[in-house]
Amino acid sequence: MDEFFETLSMLAVYGLFGWGIYHIWIKPMVDYERLLQYKDYVEKHPNTLTRSGVKCMHCGSQSIKSWGKNNAGDKNRIHICNKCGEKLYRTKL
């Protein structure tokens, strides 16, 4: 019976470990890959194109911030609406 609980606690530890890895490494990566690229965003949501750039497809705000994927200087940029906080599209510098 001891072995059973040992195995069970091992599984719990591995499970927790896997969950941590997933949320820290994999999920942000998948979220990033799932974001539309700029040209796809504009193509899919042509009504977001304005004379001075693009606007948010959710709330229409033209205030969009550009964040680095992993840090401020990252060449992979994520563009996030300043008003509603939705991630809109990604670009690569």
Output 45 or 58, the one with its CB closest to Zn ion.
58
* Nearest in space to 78 (alpha carbons), one of 15, 29, 18: 29
Contacts of 7 (CB under 8 A, 6+ apart): none
Q: Provide, rounded to whole angstroms, the least separation between the CB of residue 24 and Zn ion.
A: 27
Paired tokens of 83? 């008003």
Q: Provide, rounded to whole angstroms, the least separation between the CB of residue 40 and Zn ion.
A: 18
Output 20 or 85, the one with its CB closest to Zn ion.
85
Give the span between the Cα atoms of 84 and 29, in whole angstroms: 22
Q: Provide, rounded to whole angstroms, the least separation between the CB of residue 15 and Zn ion.
A: 37
Q: Provide, rounded to whole angstroms, the least separation between the CB of residue 10 and Zn ion.
A: 45
| CA atoms within 13 A of residue 47's CA, in its CB half-sphere | 5
Cβ(68)–Cβ(77) under 8 Å?
yes
Site for Zn ion, residues 31 to 90, rule: CB under 5 A: 56, 58-59, 61, 81, 83-84
Output 27 or 65, the one with its CB closest to Zn ion.
65
Please report, as ranges, the residues that interact with Zn ion according to CB under 5 A: 56, 58-59, 61, 81, 83-84
